[in-house]
């Protein structure tokens, strides 16, 4: 699971990245602070309780485990995640984030940093466009004060640049390429386009979806593909962009934006099936940093925080005032918006569920006795064999059968997994 952060320069992409991955990267109030991409992992709270909750109640009712005590730092969680954590049965599942350089109008013609760096976004399942909802930076990211730009303008040009990027990839050798596959008709066209775009993460089904909507939208699509002119191919590129890179929006710097600044963009984004939430990345960053050193208690994704005893002792008055100002922002905006946005994208836009592969179906452990070591985000509709491939291609290739560890029943390769499934895979080695 991989999500890319895109947008014009100086909007808060790296701040968003740094807050969510809790890693230090360069952040500054001028354009093109980021040049090389930053790649890191964020951990999202899973929607359903971790299966370790069921394991605990089973063990407790069998008399094999004492009830949880008040001072348990894991608040009852029994699992031992290889990555992430689980406290109070709230399991945190990993999502990779990619933060790239800013994109400016004309990037496909080489303006700014150009658009070659977009290749760093290849294989992303979705993109988040970070926009400056406060409107105080122009399209090149120069801070020139309120009214410099509006979020709709910022969104429209970015969508255009992404489509032009795809257009650029498709364009080389188009006529020769589509003529070569003409005997195979529609099927050949899908295979050809997928072949061109597989490097940036297309799949045949995504290409087919894009071609379907393109045909409904564009009458020129009825002519032979080698006769499609640049305008027609640009329209096709827009449909491919929508299908390969669904776009959602973080209306960032919402703390400095006027009420309603993102309303029109929200209507537009939602009409395209996307999600927009107002965010305040620098508030999230400040809170995560304070939480990391124990000054505040700020559970991931929550809409408020409290100052700890350490914080009461160590924070200066100005620092406390600063935190109070952030609290007011949180109340006004309903939180910083970052974790809810990524969670919503993963759950609603990408329709992912969480599956827990184990080696021992009785104890729900791996070979080393580690309880529920992995939590994988997989597409709803994933079958047992698909999960095997998600763990490792060898496990998929050698798949024999699986066991639903919750019921102990054997399940076949085509058995569709439910959210929160605990599954043992049996494979030839
Ligand atoms: N008020 C406010 N400022 C923010 C917010 N998020 C980021 N900033 C500020 O915006 C400026 C740019 O932040 P970056 O994270 O470097 O932006 P970027 O989009 O990565 O910029 P480039 O790498 O240059 O494309 C910095 O001064 C941040 O402190 C926010 O939510 N609110
Ligand atoms: Mg940056």
The ligand minimizing its distance to the Cα of 129 is 1
Pocket of ligand 1 (CB under 6 A): 9-15, 27-29, 31-34, 101-102, 141, 252-253, 255-256, 280-282
The domain locations on the chain are 164-238, 353-427
Residue whose CA is at the smallest distance from ligand 1 atom 11? 29
- Find the 15 Cα to ligand 1 centroid distance in Å: 6
The ligand minimizing its distance to the Cα of 255 is 1
- Find the 360 Cα to ligand 2 centroid distance in Å: 44
- Find the 277 Cα to ligand 2 centroid distance in Å: 20
Q: Check if the beta carbon of residue 75 is closer than 8 Å to that of residue 82.
A: no
- pLDDT, averaged per 10 consecutive residues of the chain (429 residues), comes to 96 98 95 94 95 96 93 95 94 96 92 89 94 94 89 95 94 92 92 93 94 95 93 96 95 94 96 95 97 94 95 96 96 96 96 96 96 96 96 96 96 96 94
Q: Check if the beta carbon of residue 330 is closer than 8 Å to that of residue 396.
A: no
Residue whose CA is at the smallest distance from ligand 1 atom 2? 253
Q: Please give the Cα distance from 178 to 175 (Å, whole number).
A: 6
Q: Please state which of the four CATH numbers 2.60.40.10, 3.40.50.2300, 3.10.20.30, 3.60.15.10 is assigned to the domain occupying 353-427.
A: 3.10.20.30
Three-class DSSP labels, 324-389: HHHHHHHHHHCCCCHHHHHHHHHHHHCCEEEEEEECECCCCECCCCCECCCCEEEECCCEHHHHHH
- Find the 13 Cα to ligand 1 centroid distance in Å: 7
Three-class DSSP labels, 63-130: CCCCCCCCCCCCCCCCCCCCCCCEECCEEEEEEEEEECCCCCCCHHHCCCCCCHHHHHHCCCCEEEEE
Dihedrals φ, ψ of 33, to 5°? -65, -40
Q: Please state which of the four CATH numbers 1.20.120.160, 1.10.8.470, 3.40.50.620, 3.20.20.60 is assigned to the domain occupying 164-238.
A: 1.10.8.470
Contacts of residue 88, defined as CB under 8 A and 6 or more positions apart, other chains included, come to: 74, 75, 76, 77
Q: Do domains 164-238 and 353-427 have the same CATH topology?
A: no
Angle between helices 151-171 and 230-244 (to 10 degrees): 110
């Amino acid at each position: 699971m991989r999500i890319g952060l895109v947008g014009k320069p100086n909007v808060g992409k790296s701040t968003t990245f740094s807050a969510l991955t809790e890693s230090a990267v360069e952040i500054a109030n001028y354009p093109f602070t980021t040049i090389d991409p930053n790649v890191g992992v964020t951990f999202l709270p899973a929607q359903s309780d971790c299966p370790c909750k069921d394991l605990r109640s089973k063990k407790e009712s069998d008399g094999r485990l004492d009830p949880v005590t008040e001072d348990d730092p894991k608040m009852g969680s029994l699992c031992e995640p290889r990555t992430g954590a689980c406290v109070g049965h709230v399991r945190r599942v990993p999502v990779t984030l990619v933060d790239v350089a800013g994109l400016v109008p004309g990037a496909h013609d080489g303006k700014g940093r150009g658009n070659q760096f977009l290749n760093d976004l290849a294989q992303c399942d979705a993109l988040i466009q970070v926009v400056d909802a406060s409107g105080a930076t122009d399209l090149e990211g120069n801070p020139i004060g309120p009214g410099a730009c509006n979020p709709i303008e910022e969104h429209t040009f970015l969508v255009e640049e992404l489509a032009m990027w795809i257009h650029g990839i498709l364009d080389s050798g188009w006529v020769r390429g589509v003529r070569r596959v003409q005997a195979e008709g529609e099927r050949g066209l899908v295979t050809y386009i997928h072949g061109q775009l597989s490097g940036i993460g297309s799949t045949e089904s995504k290409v087919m979806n894009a071609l379907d909507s393109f045909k409904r939208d564009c009458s020129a699509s009825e002519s032979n593909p080698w006769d499609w002119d640049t305008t027609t191919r640009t329209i096709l590129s827009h449909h491919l962009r929508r299908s390969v890179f669904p776009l959602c929006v973080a209306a960032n710097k919402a703390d400095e934006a006027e009420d309603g600044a993102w309303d029109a963009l929200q209507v537009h984004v939602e009409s395209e099936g996307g999600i927009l939430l107002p965010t305040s990345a620098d508030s999230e960053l400040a809170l995560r940093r304070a939480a990391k050193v124990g000054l505040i208690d700020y559970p991931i994704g929550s809409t408020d925080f409290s100052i700890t005893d350490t914080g009461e002792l160590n924070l200066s008055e100005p620092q406390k005032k600063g935190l109070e100002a952030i609290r007011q922002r949180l109340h006004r905006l309903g939180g910083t918006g970052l974790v809810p946005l990524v969670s919503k994208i993963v759950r609603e836009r990408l329709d992912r569920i969480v599956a827990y592969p184990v080696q021992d179906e009785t104890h729900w452990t791996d070979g080393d006795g580690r309880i529920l070591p992995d939590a994988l985000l997989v597409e709803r509709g994933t079958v047992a064999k698909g999960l095997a491939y998600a763990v490792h291609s060898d496990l998929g290739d050698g798949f024999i059968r699986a066991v639903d560890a919750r019921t102990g029943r054997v399940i076949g390769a085509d058995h569709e997994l439910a959210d929160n499934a605990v599954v043992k895979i049996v494979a030839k080695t």
